[in-house]
Amino acid sequence: MSDVSFVRTEMLPQQAPPATSVGLVGWSRENLFSGPVNSILTILSLIFIYFVISGVLHWAISPTWAATSLGECREMIAAAYGEGAGHKACWGVIRERWLQLMYGFYPPYPVVPSANFGAAPEGAWPAFFRPNLAFVLLVLAVVPVLFSNLPRKMLWITAAFPFLLPWLLWGGTLWTPILVALGFVIGYLVMRFAAPVVGTIAGFILAVAVPLLWWGFAIGPLADAFSSVLPLAIPEVQSRDFGGFMLSITIGVVAIGCSLPLGILLALGRQSNLLILRSICIGFIEFIRGVPLITLLFVASTLLNIFLPPGTNFDIILRVMIMVTLFAAAYMAEVIRGGLAALPKGQYEGADSLGLNYWQAQRLIIMPQALKISIPGIVSTFIGVFKDTTLVSIIGLLDPIGLSNSIRADQAWNGIVWELYGFIAVLFFIFCFSMSRYSMYLERKLQTGHR
């Protein structure tokens, strides 16, 4: 009996995977139809999605873009689909009022002082040039902060934007934002040269007090003096003309931009060894987090004037910005405190072993890691703050929600609901979804889930 064995001397060529395990079919089998229960849930979900999408499309597809009233919309729908067409969208309200939803009552041509705001004067700049330019500068200011591979020279736009934004939107003399920016330079110089002499804490107090005195007493006379020599001014626009999505973006950008540094300082103050500083920060954070934002907005709009000197003109939008910023900063402080608490104790000991002082350790070692860990919470707070700007409609400011109520009060559009709210929802979704996607991109870039 002979035993003949076979030994392969050549490797078989690599075979392609089965068609049912790769591509769309393979993904579907693995994620949607991996078992009986999963398959049943997938089929039920697809049926539900089909009915929702078909219903939305049946409502949204409507030849009413040129309508000028709700009655005209109904006539167009009846002429196109018959009397039994059912409820369909009336898009004429968006075509007629979209500028109002975007800009509120902001005058289209506030460039030439003698120009009529209701009509375009000869040689005037394009309509809504100032808010559109402010939005473009906002994008250019944010992009170099979000993406590190861009030229660092663009950070000059980022530094100048906080001073250009109020000048472009509210108008007035250009000397005012220049002198305000100069106040920060003065504070930096005071901190740099006074701190080595009087100490860090005293130097910090001086660096805050001197710019406040500069802004409170010197800016007005100096701006008037410079304007008399070289008038660099554009027509002023009153805050009562602000509205629409422009108002939401303005409040949201200011609150988001200011709440992060304030939140960092509050988080550090809450962990400070100085009893008074720690108590103040804890009291502020717990008070703000324990009071609804709408209550703070009512305080800003009605009660704040009671505590101000008679005749004080404190802009309502500025008051709202301050309250929303403080509200967001309190929540931001807790998010950042969670990131600081998540750091191992060895990071603090390592900073001490390198001989770094407190601020150097925070800037170079502690805070970058804490912010990296806190990215999801920070972006979630940003999104929440941006959506909370719609609450200003309750205190009389005409944000998109407030304007939608005013539009529906018009007899021509009385009864319009879903079209306006749907348009507003899409605008907010674009901004909030963009922030969410950037958060995920930043997490992947920094690998926040890995140690």
CATH of the domain at 304: 1.10.3720.10
pLDDT at 124 over 80: no
pLDDT at 249 over 50: yes
Mean pLDDT across 220-246: 89
pLDDT at 253 over 90: yes
Task: Answer with the residue of higher pLDDT: 184 or 16.
Answer: 184
pLDDT of residue 114: 46
pLDDT at 289 over 80: yes
* Mean pLDDT score of the chain: 86
430 within domain boundaries: no
10 within domain boundaries: no
Mean pLDDT across 120-131: 72
Mean pLDDT across 69-84: 86
Spatial CB neighbours of 208, under 8 Å, sequence gap ≥ 6: 187
Of the candidate ranges 51-60, 120-129, 254-263, the one whose mean pLDDT is the lowest: 120-129
What are 141-146's contacts with CB under 8 Å, separation 24+? Answer: 146/438, 146/442
268 within domain boundaries: yes
- Classify each residue of 50-65 as buried b or exposed e, where b means 16 or more C-beta atoms within 10 Å of its C-beta: eeeeeeeeeeeebebe
pLDDT at 112 over 90: no
In whole angstroms, how far apart are CA 28 and each of 84, 246, 269? 40, 43, 52
125 within domain boundaries: no
pLDDT of residue 195: 76
The answer for 311, left when phi > 0, alpha when psi is -120 to 50, beta otherwise, is: left
pLDDT tens, position by position, 132-154:
999 999 999 999 888 878 888 88
pLDDT at 46 over 90: yes
pLDDT at 383 over 70: yes
State the total domains in the chain: 2
Of the candidate ranges 92-101, 124-133, 362-371, the one whose mean pLDDT is the lowest: 124-133
- Which of 44, 64, 90 lies at the terminal end of a domain, its last residue? 90
206 within domain boundaries: no
pLDDT of residue 4: 61
Mean pLDDT across 38-52: 94
Q: How far apart are CA 163 and CA 182, in angstroms?
A: 11
Mean pLDDT across 160-169: 92
Mean pLDDT across 275-290: 92
pLDDT of residue 415: 85
pLDDT at 357 over 60: yes
9 within domain boundaries: no
Closest to 398 (Cα-Cα) out of 30, 47, 101: 101
Q: 234: which strand partners? A: 172
> To which H or E segment does residue 264 belong?
helix 244-270
Mean pLDDT across 368-373: 89
Closest to 407 (Cα-Cα) out of 240, 238, 250, 243: 243
pLDDT at 190 over 50: yes
156 within domain boundaries: no
Tallying the residues shown for the chain, one arrives at 451
Task: Answer with the residue of higher pLDDT: 125 or 335.
Answer: 335
The tokens of 395 are what? 């205190």
Of the pLDDT bands very low, low, confident and very high (cuts 50, 70, 90), residue 169 is very high
pTM: 0.86
**What range does the domain containing 316 cover?**
241-415
Of the pLDDT bands very low, low, confident and very high (cuts 50, 70, 90), residue 378 is very high
245 within domain boundaries: yes
Of the candidate ranges 48-57, 83-92, 307-316, 416-425, the one whose mean pLDDT is the lowest: 307-316
Asked whether the beta carbons of 328 and 386 are under 8 A apart, the reply is no
Task: Answer with the residue of higher pLDDT: 33 or 117.
Answer: 33
The tokens of 388 are what? 């909370």
Task: Answer with the residue of higher pLDDT: 315 or 270.
Answer: 270
Asked whether the beta carbons of 260 and 378 are under 8 A apart, the reply is yes
Of the pLDDT bands very low, low, confident and very high (cuts 50, 70, 90), residue 161 is very high
Asked whether the beta carbons of 412 and 406 are under 8 A apart, the reply is no
Mean pLDDT across 370-393: 91
Closest to 161 (Cα-Cα) out of 149, 147, 143: 143
